[in-house]
Amino acid sequence: MHTTEIKKVLVANRGEIAVRIFRACYDLGLHTVAIYSNEDTYSLFRTRADEAYLVGEKKSPLGAYLDIPGIIGLARRRGVTAIHPGYGFLSENSTFAKLCRDNDIVFIGPTPEVIDRMGNKSQARRTMMDAGVPVVPGTKKGIHDVDVALEQARTIGWPIMIKASSGGGGKGMRVSESEEDFADMFNIAQRESVNAFGDNTMYLERAVQNPRHVEVQIIADNHGNVVALGERDCSVQRNHQKMIEESPSPLLDADEGLRRRMMDDAVKAARAVGYTSAGTIEFLMDAERNYYFMEMNTRIQVEHCVTEMVTHTDLVGEMIRVAAGEPLSFTQDDIVLRGHAIECRINAETPEKNFMPSPGTISQMHLPGGNGVRVDTAAYDGFEISPYYDSMIAKIIVQGRNRTEAIAKMRTALEEMVIVGVNTNLDFQYAIMENETFRAGLADTGFIEQFLAGEV
């Protein structure tokens, strides 16, 4: 690796993704720097870096990791040459990416201009329309006024999905079933958007009923190369948050033509915005297997592991190489999906109490292992699950020769995992693996609600 620009990498994140990035850096012979909040003083991830520094000492637990001036200042003082933002926090913050560039620090991700272009959901829709990528029927421009929105909704037809233009993670999103509830749903979603993103710009889409959520992982370099690394099915969700991810999608497994069209459209989308680094093109697929662009995530994602498993690639390492100016180490012809991989997110929560978070101290923890089993975590015996951060404890990823074998391996892995001291969703995830609808590959985005209601 020609690391003329990248020698010392700061990870502007915490937890398992920070550990994951440190591993990739060590494989490439790079020096690493961790940052941590007061609340993370005893966290594992900070010990996995060559250097670790407290940030945001007088800020809130979340504010510490969002302290852009503090992080940039620390990076400059410590001779950091590159910053990897991971996911969440500052990963899609164009201001942070631009300040890195202005301070001669490589941002391991796309350019701030591309982050802005794809972060604005209504602008991203227009870009995809112009590029010929299929999109859900809806508005092309952002809307601020409820009366204007209602007029547009009458043209599109109900049910209508109301979305925040700057949104993500299910925030600022509501479904209107009819004209009667539209104004209320629009106002609620708009208030959420203002509170979460400081932006009251909304857009409308025809709601695709109980769709499948199928996304394509792409990576692009600065030499004009763009590669699609197959698809992931992320349809098992709760409140628009993914719970289980798998690759390949059960819907596409026997339809190579459909897979190729989706991958081609994902590459087309990336090229349309001059994308570089790793990113994900997210599609919704209806019952007739028509697919529509939903959004682009301009970062590495929690579920990148299943793609790594079935393609035998290192996406995080590839991001670093691309940021250093190197061409991709593989071509599209090198990408072959081998077997089937499934990922379950293990959270500290109580499913029977509406998935209420369960902070506390893990008194005992045993991780599963064996052939085709991977666990990404930053937890350990005695680790405190903080109430201030995401409740995810670990990700279990398994790979089998086919989907049936992968499900069997996941059941075994879930049985083997032991977590004492906090409540978890281990039993809930196991029950999903046992469910006939999931095992048949038929789970859509309404599956969890039906599962909880005993309907599947």
**pLDDT tens, position by position, 106-154:** 999 999 999 999 988 778 888 999 999 999 888 888 899 999 999 999 9
Secondary structure of 188-233 in HEC code, one letter for each residue: HHHHHHHHHHCCCCEEEEECCCCCEEEEEEEEECCCCCEEEEEEEE
The token duo for 199 is 């932006």
Q: Is the peptide bond before 61 cis (omega within 30 degrees of 0)?
A: no
pLDDT of 430 > 50? The answer is yes
Cα distance between residue 376 and residue 411, in whole Å: 17
How high is the pLDDT of residue 42? Answer: 92
One-letter amino acid for residue 87 of the chain = Y
User: Can 299 be counted among the known catalytic residues?
Assistant: yes
Out of 178-187, 202-211, 328-337, which region has the weakest mean confidence (pLDDT)?
A: 202-211
Q: Which residues face 206 on adjacent strands?
A: 160
Q: What pLDDT score was predicted for residue 169?
A: 65
**CA distance linking residue 118 with residue 4, whole number of Å:** 29
For 351, the 3-state DSSP assignment is helix
Helices (H) and strands (E) in the chain, counts: 15, 22
Band of pLDDT at residue 421, cut at 50, 70 and 90 = very high
pLDDT in tens, 290-322: 999 999 999 999 999 999 999 999 999 999 999
Predicted confidence at residue 3, as pLDDT, reads 47
The identity of residue 164, as a single letter, is A
Give the per-residue pLDDT at 125. 85
For residue 1, pLDDT beyond 50: no
Q: Provide mean pLDDT across the span 358-371.
A: 97
pLDDT (tens digit, 9 = 90+) per residue, 212-242?
Answer: 999 999 999 999 999 999 999 999 999 888 9
Taking the model in full, what pTM does it have?
0.90
- The least confident of 52-56, 286-290, 301-305, 332-336 is 286-290
Phi, psi of 216 (to 5 degrees): -115, 125
Give the active site residue among 46, 212, 259, 299: 299
Alpha helices in 312-446 (DSSP H): 315-323, 403-416, 426-434, 436-439
